[in-house]
Amino acid sequence: MATTSKQYKAIGEDLWKSRTEKINSELFALTYGALVVQLIQDYEDYAEVNKQLEKMGYNIGTRLIEDFLARSSLGRCSDFREVGEVVAKVGFKSFLNITPAVTHSAAPPPSSRPSSAAQQSGVPGSSFILTLDENPLAEFVELPDEALEGGLWFSNVLCGVLRGALEMVQMQVQVEFLSDVLRGDESTEIRVTLLKYLEEEVPVGDD
Amino acid sequence: MQASPASALSTLADPPARMIDGAAMDYFLIEAVNALRVSSAVAAARARKIECDMVEAGLVPPPPPAKQQNPRDSASSTTGKISGPPDEDEGIRSRLEAIGMHVGGNFAERLCRDRPLFSDSLDVIKFVCKDLWSSCWDKQVDNLRTNHRGVYVLQDNAFKPIARISSWEGRQEALRRAKLYVALPAGIIRGALSRVGLHGTVVPEVTTLPQCTFQIKLPKNT
């Protein structure tokens, strides 16, 4: 049964309301900011910090997806387009209480029958872009010049979370930041590209 | 409920606190500790390499052969473990405390915005026990003791950050990890006190989960 965008928004709202424990997002923003500063001091290399933030996010994502699946009654997404909708309207809403806008790369087919949808949005290479109009991680943050020059993606943990969560539901994706208001860009955008669907098998341990 | 213009304006001026999910924060803190473990090892290795380079270049005398190790007062260091864990834990602990200080100082500033000046240090401690605790951990401190000479002991019988810690390796292992995780809250308390002007030390202690005590020592003249 096709679920409309509005229905996903409602599901997201319900899930957010039913979360039993909520904490002040300022605490989270302050903790994350201090952690990034500490990582920069330890690694002294912005590319490495980006990598470590992504890795941290990957580990968080693998746990978050379990939490998400346990609490929501959503079934398998029929195509990658639906994945984007669920991630933006339900996923982000239930954990961070924000709803990024989502733009899909393939034009949506007039009917959402699986056979035609598979042609358009199930193909490796399809992608969606999340546009965050507010970023709870970056609440009190200003980047110094050397961080800008060094190529730091401050909220890179989000990329890892998406990669880890989607890998646990058998999708291998590439997630990267396209722009960030902290860097002076107009908007904060994350692109998620489907690389391939994974077979059901025991995942190879990393490291 | 009629929204009058005044209340609409006051919502603009003083927006309700934005919240995020508590479970997400818990997962984040767990992984943050892991990330800090790796990064502190990298930083320590780099410092050791610089020292080795300097020794080789003859700039500093070689270090004495005896390995310096501060015996920590936690029980785990007497259980015959190899010297790795106490040293690496120290790196993580100091980093967690530093992060906590940043969080505590800034968050206390936000909390203190509308309240009047503190009358004395006991007033500050009460602020920590009530306002700071309930904003961070949804409850108030269960027991406050003081010797009226600058030492305060705060006891929380079900301290939220460690309330759900368990380990498949058993109770002792869970206790060992809990001792590490309380470094961040200790830093938050220390940072909050320091932002208000009381520069003391905060020592956390966990003997039985999930109970935690914090011993606060403030300097004599406050």
User: CB of A97 within 8 Å of any CB in chain B?
Assistant: yes
Residue with tokens 């309330």: B163
Cross-chain residue pair A96–B20, CB shorter than 8 Å: yes
User: CB of B98 within 8 Å of any CB in chain A?
Assistant: yes
User: CB of A25 within 8 Å of any CB in chain B?
Assistant: yes
What pLDDT sits at residue A28?
93
3-state secondary structure of B72: coil
- For B55-113, write each residue's pLDDT tens digit: 888 887 877 765 544 444 444 444 444 444 556 788 899 999 999 999 999 999 988 88
Mean pLDDT to the nearest integer, A14-28: 88
With a pLDDT cut of 90, the percent of chain A lying above it is 62
What pLDDT sits at residue B111?
87
User: CB of A131 within 8 Å of any CB in chain B?
Assistant: no
Mean pLDDT to the nearest integer, A41-70: 94
Let me know the angle formed at the C-alpha of A56 by A55 and A59, rounded to the nearest 5 degrees. 90
List phi, psi (to 5°) of A132: -90, 115
Q: What is the DSSP letter of A194?
A: E
Distance from CA of B34 to the nearest CA of A (A): 8
Q: For residue A95, what pLDDT band results from cuts at 50, 70 and 90?
A: very high
Among A119-128, B23-32, B189-198, which is the least confidently predicted range?
A119-128
Mean pLDDT to the nearest integer, A171-200: 92
Mean pLDDT of chain B: 83
Instruction: State the count of interchain CB pairs (< 8 A) between A and B.
Output: 112
Calpha distance B92→B109 (Å, rounded) = 26
Mean pLDDT to the nearest integer, A116-131: 70
Q: Bigger pLDDT: A78 or A190?
A: A190
Whether A11 has a pLDDT exceeding 60, the answer reads yes
> Which of B152, B106, B149, B107 is CA-nearest to residue B126?
B152
Whether B148 has a pLDDT exceeding 60, the answer reads yes
Residue A110: is the preceding peptide bond cis (ω within 30°)? Answer: no
User: CB of A149 within 8 Å of any CB in chain B?
Assistant: no
Whether B209 has a pLDDT exceeding 60, the answer reads yes
> Which of A194, A162, A155, A20 is CA-nearest to residue A92?
A162
Cross-chain residue pair B25–A55, CB shorter than 8 Å: no
Spatial contact of A79 and A117, defined as CB atoms under 8 Å apart: yes
What pLDDT sits at residue A117?
41
Calpha distance A111→A117 (Å, rounded) = 8
What pLDDT sits at residue B65?
67
Spatial contact of A147 and A156, defined as CB atoms under 8 Å apart: no
User: CB of A43 within 8 Å of any CB in chain B?
Assistant: yes
Calpha distance A148→A140 (Å, rounded) = 16
Calpha distance B74→B85 (Å, rounded) = 12
What pLDDT sits at residue A156?
95
Among B31-45, B67-81, B126-140, which is the least confidently predicted range?
B67-81
Cross-chain residue pair A31–B34, CB shorter than 8 Å: no
Cα-based torsion angle of the residue sequence A84, A86, A91, A92 in order, rounded to the nearest 10 degrees: 50
Calpha distance B212→B159 (Å, rounded) = 6
Q: Bigger pLDDT: A107 or B179?
A: B179
What pLDDT sits at residue A206?
61
From residue B75, give the alpha-carbon distance in Å to each of A184, B91, B172, B176, B180.
Answer: 50, 18, 10, 9, 13
With a pLDDT cut of 90, the percent of chain B lying above it is 37
pTM over 0.90: no
Smallest CA–CA distance from B108 into chain A, residue: A27
Selected for mutation to probe chain A from B31, B107, B132, B181 (highest A CB count within 10 Å) is: B31
What pLDDT sits at residue B195?
92
Half-sphere exposure of B221 (CA within 13 A, CB side): 2
Cβ neighbors of B24 (< 8 A, separation 6 or more) are A60, A64, A95, A96
ipTM of the complex: 0.84
Specify the pairing of strand A22-24 against strand A127-132.
Answer: unpaired
Distance from CA of A46 to the nearest CA of B (A): 13
User: CB of A24 within 8 Å of any CB in chain B?
Assistant: yes
Q: What is the DSSP letter of B174?
A: H
Q: For residue B222, what pLDDT band results from cuts at 50, 70 and 90?
A: low
